[in-house]
Amino acid sequence: MVGAVRNAGELRVRPLNPDADGESLAQAKAVWIVRRSSSGAAWAQIALLKFARHGGDWALLIDGVERRELAEQFLHAEVGLDRAELPPLDDDTHYWVDLIGCRVRHRDGRELGTIERLETNGVQDWMVVGPHWIPFVDAHVDAVDLSAKEVRVDWDPDWLRD
């Protein structure tokens, strides 16, 4: 997410994953940028001219955005990479984009809904499934089956009721 603009059109980007090292981004030739609004969203691929670590964030300079005024149009935009530029994953690791849209079932078979998005608070990740914010940790996630587009959890929907 683009969180700030610096002089000369440089974008400060905060990663969704606080543990990300930025290696894939540092090697990328282009990034995908989207701004969402009530009228919809469309991703656009833009050439990446510069990448540098800036504290816990990354500083990006993208092609055609050399002035602060131009860069400000990207505030709160999302930045992504082409999947081909991402590193391969271990068997028990998943990219968030692959989990969005997966059905979530309790271990007893009850369907809880579909993963709408994932969030992080810096301590742990959360699957947002309707009104449920289910911690994406071993204690609550039994299995992820991407081929079946399903995540099995130990999360009782009644935990939200008074």
Is the dihedral angle over the CA atoms 139, 143, 144, 150 positive or is it negative? Answer: negative
Q: Is residue 137 part of a domain?
A: yes
Residues 6+ apart with CB under 8 A from 46: 30, 31, 32, 33, 62, 63, 64, 65
How many domains, in total, are found in the chain?
2
pLDDT in tens, 75-102: 888 888 888 877 788 877 888 889 999 9
Q: Tell me the one-letter amino acid at 74.
A: F
Q: Do 17 and 62 belong together in one domain?
A: yes
- pLDDT band at residue 160, thresholds of 50, 70 and 90? low
pLDDT in tens, 99-148: 999 999 999 999 999 999 988 877 888 999 998 899 999 999 999 999 99
Q: Which of 85, 106, 125 is the last residue of a domain?
A: 85
pLDDT in tens, 40-51: 777 888 888 888
Tokens 């590193």 appear where?
87
Sheet holding 57-62, edge to edge: 2-5, 11-13, 57-62, 44-54, 30-34, 78-80
Q: Do 148 and 102 belong together in one domain?
A: yes
- pLDDT band at residue 69, thresholds of 50, 70 and 90? confident
Please compute the mean of the pLDDT values over residues 62-75 and round it to a whole number: 84
Is the dihedral angle over the CA atoms 22, 80, 132, 94 positive or is it negative? Answer: negative
Could you list the residue range(s) of the whole structural domain that residue 113 is in?
96-160
Q: Do 80 and 124 belong together in one domain?
A: no
Higher pLDDT, 145 or 23: 145
